[in-house]
């Protein structure tokens, strides 16, 4: 289920064009914002940095809801900027 990003099965890659934030942010201080997304480097799933719909990556590194994302292994996350296609 590569790309599945929330409990409703929405693949954000079908809606947004993603590009990595450069320079890469420090894993100890991942930024958040309405246009910022986290890509799990373990399972390649993308989730919002401020999700309001329950979401989780396949391997469990990223989980979130209520506007907050929990990152288990921040060193295995790529911060992406998303723009509507």
| Domain ranges (residues) in the chain | 12-84
Which pLDDT score, from 0 to 100, does residue 1 have?
39
Stated pTM of the model: 0.89
| Closest by Cα among 24, 56, 64, 17 to 40 | 56
Give the rounded percent of residues in the chain with a pLDDT score beyond 90: 79
62-65 vs 55-56, strand pairing mode: antiparallel
The pLDDT tens digits for 43-74 are: 999 999 999 988 999 999 999 999 999 999 99
46-48 vs 55-56, strand pairing mode: unpaired
Which pLDDT score, from 0 to 100, does residue 8 have?
58
The Cα 13–Cα 28 span in angstroms is 26
Question: Does residue 3 carry a pLDDT above 60?
Answer: no
Question: Does residue 36 carry a pLDDT above 60?
Answer: yes
């Amino acid at each position: 289920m590569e790309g599945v990003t929330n409990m409703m099965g929405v693949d954000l890659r079908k809606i947004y064009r993603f590009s990595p934030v450069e320079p890469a942010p420090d894993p100890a201080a991942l930024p958040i914002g309405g246009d910022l997304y986290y890509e799990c480097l373990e399972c390649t799933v993308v989730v919002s940095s401020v999700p309001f719909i329950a979401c989780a990556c396949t391997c469990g590194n990223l989980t979130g809801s209520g506007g907050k994302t929990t990152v288990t292994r921040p060193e295995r996350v790529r911060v992406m900027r998303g723009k509507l296609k």
